Homo-oligomer: A and B are copies of this chain.
Amino acid sequence: MGTYRQRLRQVTAERGNLCVGIDPHPGVLAAWGLPATASGLEQCARGIIEALGDRVAVFKPQSAFFEAHGSAGVAVLERVLADIRAAGALSIVDAKRGDIGSTMAAYAAAYLTDGSPLAGDALTVSPYLGFGSLLPAFEAAVASDRGVYVLARTSNPEGGQVQLALGREGSVVQEIIDAARAFNASARTRAIGLVVGGTHASLGCDVSEFNGSILVPGIGAQGGDVADLPHLFGAAFEQVLPMVGRAIIGAGPGVPEMRERVRAFTAH
């Protein structure tokens, strides 16, 4: 099946490079006329795949909205991941996990290891404990041909407090970008991607030489515009995977309405 990046290149060549966020929060469930229960969650999340699974390259289920329904919600996430796989699309589990040692290895076992029901094609991780603390996830991703997206510059206004602070070699975000690039250059697969928000007037960091996938949230409801991304990302624009959540799934539950939104975002 190839590496994560090979699979990503193939499916985006066929379907366009859009990532649809599966964010079944209470407001979306209400708009779909569904109860705020594990059953309502399941109808919404699996309904999105049913409507869009044959035409969207990548889906990003947000773990928080499944965890909010307890282990029954997490079981729904497992079924959603199986649906995405069956539809020939890729999945990025947005869980922003981050820990150390054997604990980080346990997250890697859950989300980046063949046979685990929670394993998708990629996982988002959070580097507050240092880039190096995430090594067990990077190694598991390389070994299983999966991907890991490290939070670098997030889309929210509060992120700069940590991400733009000055470390030994430059800003925190730049140290993470450079360390990710160095890992990718030395590993068998370019397993590490970055999360860089599309909401900023300028990124405040240099991704021009980055050698992996760049997941860009913040498009649509958060105010980012797909049309601005070539300018914002420059030479790295080819690696960008724009992520749209509410602006697509909020048009549901009508299938034609959601498909029309996907068409509009893919046309750019």
Contact = CB atoms under 8 A, between A and B. Distances in A.
A110 B64 contact: yes
Interface residues of A, number: 61
A98 B118 CA distance: 19
Interface in A93-116: 96-107, 109-111, 116
Interface in A114-151: 116-118, 126-133, 151
B98 A68 contact: no
A71 interface: yes
A257 interface: no
A156 B27 contact: no
A251 to B, nearest CB: 17
Contacts of A132: 158, 161
A70 B116 contact: yes
A62 interface: yes
A33 interface: no
Given A64-B103, A98-B96, A103-B65, A130 B110 contact: no
Interface stretch (A164-172, A200-208, A225-233): A164-172
Contact of A100 (B77, B127, B156): B156
Contacts of A83: none
A116 B71 CA distance: 10
Interface in A16-59: 23, 25, 27
A110 B67 contact: yes
B128 A151 contact: yes
Interface of A: 23, 25, 27, 62, 64-65, 67-72, 74-75, 77-78, 96-107, 109-111, 116-118, 126-133, 151, 154-168, 171-172, 175
Nearest to A151: B128
A98 B154 CA distance: 12
A118 B158 contact: no
Nearest to A158: B130
Contact of A27 (B25, B64, B102, B154): B102
A94 to B, nearest CB: 8
Given A96-B99, A128-B128, A67 B106 contact: yes
A151 to B, nearest CB: 6
